[in-house]
Structure 1
Amino acid sequence: MNKKESLIICRCEEITEEEIHEAIRKGATNIDAVKRMTRAGMGLCGGKSCSKLVARIISEETGKSISEIIPFTSRPPVRPIPIKLLGHQGEENENC
């Protein structure tokens, strides 16, 4: 296994650098296309920890400058979630 195959870019979804390169080879030319093809940026952090790395890889592969690469599109929850519930992920809450 070489370095690109094993280097994790998106920790939330465990997406490797090689998977990002493969998505670009298959036609992904922007961050949202990479996201749809690999799930990079779809984890709990919403791309906050991996978006810059994904953008850099796209830039290197396509020759686009970083400023030309549009950031991840984030989507808020369907309905508002009280902050107190976010702190109890994985725990049962009788008030839900």
Structure 2
Amino acid sequence: MDKRLVRSFKKEAFIKKDDDQMIICRCEEITKGEIRKAIHQGMLKIDELKKYLRTGMGLCQGRTCTKLIKRIMAEELKVAADEFKDITARAPLRPIKMEVYANDDLNNCG
């Protein structure tokens, strides 16, 4: 998002809406109200929301919720949804047991 838009955003008091209980990020169970509240607290970029609320960090890696989050942000900040960059993608990682490394045969590394 353009820096001028961020600086021009005037924080207003958070006012609850009827649909704030709607789940937007299904993987992390984040509601529309939580996203709206975070925006009013100063999270003005997609990646800031991701770090603050964990939106887009679940199994789908933001594939199902990114468009909805952009739309909510655009509505709250009164800008076009295409002003926002996509969530920074990260490969999903899983823990590896140390015994896997311990059993690794270093002589067969090619």
Q: TM-score, length-normalised on structure 1?
A: 0.74
Change (3 A) 1:4 1:54: same
Unmatched runs of 5 consecutive residues or more in structure 2: 1-16, 94-110
Cα offset for 1:77?
A: 4.9
Match status 1:74 vs 2:89: yes
Task: Confirm or deny: 8 A CA contact 2:25 2:65 kept in the other structure.
Answer: yes
From 37, 45, 51, the counterpart of 2:52: 37
What is residue 19 of structure 1 aligned with on the other side?
Answer: 34
Paired positions, count: 78
User: 4+ residue stretches of structure 1 with deviation over 6 A?
Assistant: none
8 Å Cα contact 1:4-1:16 kept in structure 2: no
Two-structure CA RMSD over aligned residues (Å): 1.7
Shift of 1:5: 3.2
Q: Secondary structure at the match of 1:58?
A: helix
Identity %: 45
* Cα distance in 2, alignment partners of residues 77 and 10 from structure 1: 16
**Which residue matches 1:59?**
74
Q: Partner amino acid for 1:17?
A: K
Check conservation: 2:24, 2:30, Cα contact below 8 A. Answer: yes
Q: CA deviation at 1:16?
A: 0.3
Distance in 1 (CA, whole Å) between partners of 2:92 and 2:61 is 12
**Per-residue CA distance 1:53-84 (angstroms, 9 max, x = gap):** 00000000111211211110011256xxxxxx
Contact map agreement 1:8 1:17 (CA 8 A) in 2: yes
